[in-house]
Amino acid sequence: MRKRIFLSPPHLGGEEIKEVQKAIQSNWIAPAGPATALFEKKITEYNQTDYCVAVNSGTAAIHLALIVLGVEKGDEVICPTFTFAGSCNPILYQGAVPVFVDAEKESWCLDPQLLEEAIEDRIRLGKKPRAIIVVHLFGMPACMNEIRNVAKKYTIPVVEDAAEALGSVYEGQHAGTLGDIGIYSFNGNKIITTSGGGALVSCNKDWIERARYLSGQARSAVPYYHHETTGYNYQLSNISASIGIGQFSVLNERLKQKRKIFETYQSELKTHGFLFQEENSNTFSNRWITSILMPVKSKNGLNEKIRLALEGQNIESRPLWKPMHLQPAFNQYPSYLSGAAEHLFINGLCLPSGTSLSEEDQEIIIKKLIETAGYTA
């Protein structure tokens, strides 16, 4: 059997081992440390943002973002229904209520028009949402101008879940720095990894310092252990940050590779009727994962047929996110729907997009895909 081809496996650049060795030799085997501080600096420099705190997951970063924005028990927080559960779980950690909003057809991200309708309706029902979470799905920047206009009109802060979008750009500005506070993930499947990690960025120093304090068990700056509030053990380890420093040196290369993988899929599959998440004049996607929609005229279930055909060759592919409003864990919460997310879930497929994917293997995937579609279209 062929070696398994994964959707988006980690891809080391070579410098990581040296950075980890440095950390070990200096005995910085601790949560936080000089590598963590340097990693934070690399993030702010890369994104041209002001402040950053590194944490141990993207989910932790979203949780801290909601806390510093003052989200409390009973508050409502808007979140796209078409996303990964990591985007909305932190809303529930706070005892707050997620309000799900459907996807916009071009970007597949939060629908600005439906967002406004949802806000109006929540206000009518007696409660203005406390925050809006926007996700740049598969690396594609959301319609930020429209979303920011709505957020501004109702004075609601925007949390940008850029977990999948490091390196993506909107109107010349980096994803994650377009809202009030942004988060990244450095989980093993993301464009660069620390094996597990995340970060919070903002130009609001108070928020980032507050998040840093809470991430270290909320210890006050006194010689003994003194706590004014509940804290969290969310710090990024110095060893993980060392991996991240090594990974940063290959980020631009990874970006080029991800985009090339996308372009190859697109140029060979578009003529067969497959549809893609398209960029527009405002957006530049890191193409973290190439996702396709089945041809308009294809029979239902083609994506599952293709998935099974690829699986038969030991190649991993996966349906797009199952919408949150269809999840047993979340289906009791309010949702504002157009059917777009459900359509994406039913008709989509994420294709292997690891930057270590060889051209030969990508050709095998494309061939299998076209062959499978040919029998059923």
Summarize as ranges the residues that interact with ligand PLP (CB under 6 A).
57-59, 83-84, 86-87, 135, 161, 163-164, 185, 187, 198
3 state SS of 65: helix
Q: Which residue is nearest to ligand PLP (CB)?
A: 58
Cα-Cα-Cα-Cα dihedral of 288, 290, 296, 301, to 10°?
Answer: -110
Q: Among 167, 159, 107, which residue's Cα sits nearest to residue 133? A: 159
Shortest gap between Cβ of 1 and ligand PLP (angstroms)?
A: 29
What single-letter DSSP state applies at residue 297? T
Nearer Cβ to ligand PLP, position 57 or 242?
57
CA separation for the pair 345, 168 (Å, rounded) = 23
Nearer Cβ to ligand PLP, position 59 or 168?
59
Q: Catalogue the E-assigned strands of the chain.
A: 51-55, 76-80, 97-101, 131-135, 158-161, 169-170, 173-174, 181-185, 198-202, 275-276, 283-284, 291-293, 335-336, 348-350
Shortest gap between Cβ of 109 and ligand PLP (angstroms)?
A: 10
Shortest gap between Cβ of 310 and ligand PLP (angstroms)?
A: 22
Nearer Cβ to ligand PLP, position 200 or 293?
200
Shortest gap between Cβ of 288 and ligand PLP (angstroms)?
A: 8
Nearer Cβ to ligand PLP, position 83 or 168?
83
Nearer Cβ to ligand PLP, position 198 or 352?
198
Q: Among 188, 179, 143, which residue's Cα sits nearest to residue 161? A: 179
Cα-Cα-Cα-Cα dihedral of 167, 173, 179, 181, to 10°?
Answer: 60
